[in-house]
Amino acid sequence: MTVTLRVVLDQLVAPTSLDLAEASASLTEALIATAPRGCDVGAIVPSPGIPDSEAIAGLSSETRLSMRRRELAASWQLGVAPGIGKGLIHSPTPLAPLVRHDRVNETHQIVVTLWDLRAWETPEELPKAEILAGRALLSRVTKHADAVIVPTHAMAERLAEVAKPKLVKKLRVIGGAPAAGLRVPSDAVGRLRALDLPQTFVATAGGSAASDALGSAFAAVVASGWEGDVVVLDMPEGDEPAVIDLAAAAGLAEGRVHARGPLDRWDRAAVLSHAAAFVASSARADWPWRAVDALAVGIPVAAVDSPVLHEVLADAAAFAPADELGAALSRALGEDAERLRVLAGDRAKGFAWGASADRVWALHAEL
């Protein structure tokens, strides 16, 4: 008898985050590639189903629900999950059909994944509705999930400070990785030209939210003595004026700052490959997507002291407190540049979706 692990792939139908969509697809491809004998992988998706452009080869089935993602999310947050059926369910995000079930007698398992704790760490930066929805969802996770995956031990420790002991007992640490196939494209120069970006710069990521700490990144650029341009990735839509104001407050002229929104994996790799260094300035407990991308393309990283960044980057970054980040960036651009490039490449080898998939299969077997 074949055992099917069904993965919730709402992000491939109606993505709310490019990172979550890429992680969902990358993990699912790896689960298919590493499936144990007698096991296969299916999908649970909202209407209208996975578009052809996002199709994943090797899925054994697709449980297509009648609701679209927005309605589905509202329904699941209330504990209403018709049409799901029983079996092994894995969600690469917090969203899952979390209902009361009997794991032992019904062989019904539900595992979810948390990538950030913003609803608890920085609620003042989020819409009230998003905070309430996030906390309500975590309440259902606490009651009904059989396991909760977080990508770092540091996040697990931070979550333990705000979550109930019942949830803490369910935590498992399985790391993320760069998007599957992330590599520098052969047309990187052309992509930079299409994005209207310079050929060399210091890169960072985020928006005007205080916890993104772009102000610290800009101040570090000035303190390091870097006289070239700065490229900001992942800027939220409409945030450019506020980002430019932060740069100006740090002493960076508007003409030196190039802010761009979320980019696909190929454009990101092209951009980061031309960066002299990447500045990781946020100390939140989030999985550091762009810093891991920077490792994957082998560029020096300067990072603020934080438990998550120390755990993920290890010795492949120059670390400093936020108010001394300029000194770390100066080292990453100068005396430590070549050493950090080598260490970045070595460290990047430790992040692979295949390894994560193996651990996911092992977790479901354990449950």
Determine the pLDDT at residue 103. 66
Listed residue (20, 31, 85) closest to 56, CA to CA: 31
Determine what percent of the chain is predicted with pLDDT higher than 70: 98
Task: For residue 294, list its beta bridge partners.
Answer: none
pLDDT at 115: 98
Q: Is the pLDDT of residue 1 over 90?
A: no
- pLDDT band, very low/low/confident/very high, at 324 (cuts 50, 70, 90): very high
Mean pLDDT of 71-82: 87
| Residue 234 pLDDT exceeds 90 | yes
Superfamily of domain 188-348: Glycogen Phosphorylase B; (3.40.50.2000)
Is 3.40.50.2000 the CATH number for 3-177+352-366? yes
Are 70 and 96 a contacting pair, CB within 8 Å? no
pLDDT for position 217? 99
Share of the chain above pLDDT 90, in %: 87
- Please tell me whether residue 356 adopts helix, strand or coil conformation: helix
Identical fold, 3-177+352-366 and 188-348: yes
* pLDDT one-digit tens code per residue, 164-206: 899 999 999 999 999 998 999 999 999 999 999 999 999 999 9
Averaged pLDDT for residues 294-299: 98
Q: Which residues pair with 148 in a beta bridge?
A: 112, 171
Q: Average model confidence (pLDDT) for the chain?
A: 95
Element of type H or E holding 48: none
Domain boundaries, the chain: 3-177+352-366, 188-348
pLDDT band with cut points at 50, 70 and 90 for residue 284: very high
Cα separation, 45 vs 93, in Å, equals 13
- 122 within 8 A of 284, measured Cβ to Cβ: yes
Question: 32-41, 131-140, 223-232: lowest mean pLDDT where?
Answer: 131-140
Least confident of 136-150, 272-286, 294-308, 320-334: 136-150
Calpha distance 40→154 (Å, rounded): 32
Closest CA to 234 of 173, 282, 200: 282
Q: What is the pLDDT of residues 86-141, one digit of tens each?
A: 899 999 999 999 988 766 666 789 999 999 999 889 999 999 988 888 888 888 89
Q: According to the model, what pLDDT value does residue 104 have?
A: 61
